[in-house]
A = this chain, B = another copy of it.
């Protein structure tokens, strides 16, 4: 069945989530599964939270005679017939081999690779519904930006998923504004994947179907930023499948317009996507003062150093400084976010308009919330508890400005090296 492949089975891939980034990732994954039949099943499932949608008469898709245009229809139906997610990624044609599926459980059936791409507040509920319905040896990749921070520590969404489902989950993050990626404008991303060394060492299952193999369980220890260990029992990928390694993941995500680098550092890649938002606020503040390009670059550089320090201090066993300084999930994502991202813009406007940032948030974001202000406060609470506020003067300055305890003009003196 697998042509020239030495493996008798192929990976089936499901993308869980169908917002603008979820739909963009699904498009690329489906392009790649079609291009690599030796590794992947062609059809890719995309789980869609079902909604009723009416195609308006003004739409280019409106056909009076079409049953799809008679009142409200299921979003999945529309996506599968029009090959377009008209609600969350309009005007982008999705591949024929991408199938929108409204059933979470059905969408993951027989899938050995699960790509998570949904708002972080839904992770827990989705994992609860999936539990017991996925292949026990499946592997995950989380495209969910950011991390969870509270006073006790920092936890990665990939780890939350991994622990809840009992699987290994890596991460994908980078300088990826979804609308640009969907239009096939050139960009890069970073995939991080570093499962315990188990699959390759595990003896080949001797009998039965792969899912019935109960041998070769491996304990995978998650260590969070507080140093707490939690153990997840992992099953090896059956040897009938091509190994899920850096090369396979690059093949799954890389496109001529979407260049992928695969690294080991899951924590660094995840932290990059969260901490950059604090730095983007600082860059927006000084830009709002009209201080020019030197000042903005200086704040970004100081912020990048604090990102490196945070990662290598609290995830010293896994984080590599280079993830921040040379990967797309680090320096490039920081640059994009400080060019015109929403955290940068709202901070800038708050200075220009002399308004609290919460006011600007209301004016500009149409009910959506800024990630950076939340992360800045959470990270500050965590650092305060560790007694390390002073070691992160820019992060601390942003928090002080948000609380009205410091002025934007104070940033240079607050971050001045002693």
Contact = CB atoms under 8 A, between A and B. Distances in A.
Given A180-B293, A412-B256, A412-B259, A328 B187 contact: no
Interface in A279-299: 286, 291-298
A332 interface: yes
B325 A326 contact: yes
Size bracket of the A interface: 35 or more
A61 interface: no
Interface string A313-331: 0000000001001111001
A333 interface: yes
B180 A297 contact: no
B180 A339 contact: no
Given A256-B416, A259-B412, A259-B417, A177 B301 contact: no
A417 B254 CA distance: 10
A44 interface: no
A296 B339 contact: yes
Contacts of A301: 175, 188, 326-328, 331-332, 335
B412 A186 contact: yes
B413 A292 contact: no
Nearest to A341: B293
Interface string A29-55: 000000000000000000000000000
A328 B297 CA distance: 8
A354 B413 CA distance: 46
A380 interface: no
B259 A298 contact: yes
A340 interface: yes
A332 B328 CA distance: 16
A186 B286 CA distance: 9
A370 interface: no
B332 A292 contact: no
A61 to B, nearest CB: 26
A292 B185 contact: yes
A394 to B, nearest CB: 12
A217 interface: no
A295 B412 contact: no
B411 A291 contact: no
Contacts of A411: 186
A97 interface: no
A56 to B, nearest CB: 28
A411 B187 CA distance: 11
A165 interface: no
A77 to B, nearest CB: 32
A416 B257 CA distance: 9
A185 B327 CA distance: 30
A298 B332 contact: yes
A104 B332 CA distance: 45
Contacts of A176: 294
Given A326-B304, A412-B259, A186 B295 contact: yes
Greatest chain B CB density within 10 A among A186, A292, A339 is at A186
A35 B150 CA distance: 45
B336 A293 contact: yes
* CB-based closest 7 A-B pairs: A187-B294, A325-B325, A297-B332, A301-B332, A175-B297, A180-B292, A188-B298
Given A185-B294, A188-B302, A259-B416, 4 more contacts: A188-B297, A293-B339, A297-B335, A297-B336
Interface of A: 175-177, 180-181, 185-188, 256-257, 259, 261, 286, 291-298, 300-302, 304-305, 308, 322, 325-328, 331-333, 335-336, 339-340, 411-413, 415-417
20 contacts: A177-B293, A180-B292, A180-B294, A185-B291, A185-B292, A186-B294, A187-B298, A256-B413, A256-B416, A296-B336, A297-B328, A297-B333, A297-B339, A298-B332, A300-B331, A301-B328, A301-B332, A304-B326, A308-B326, A322-B325
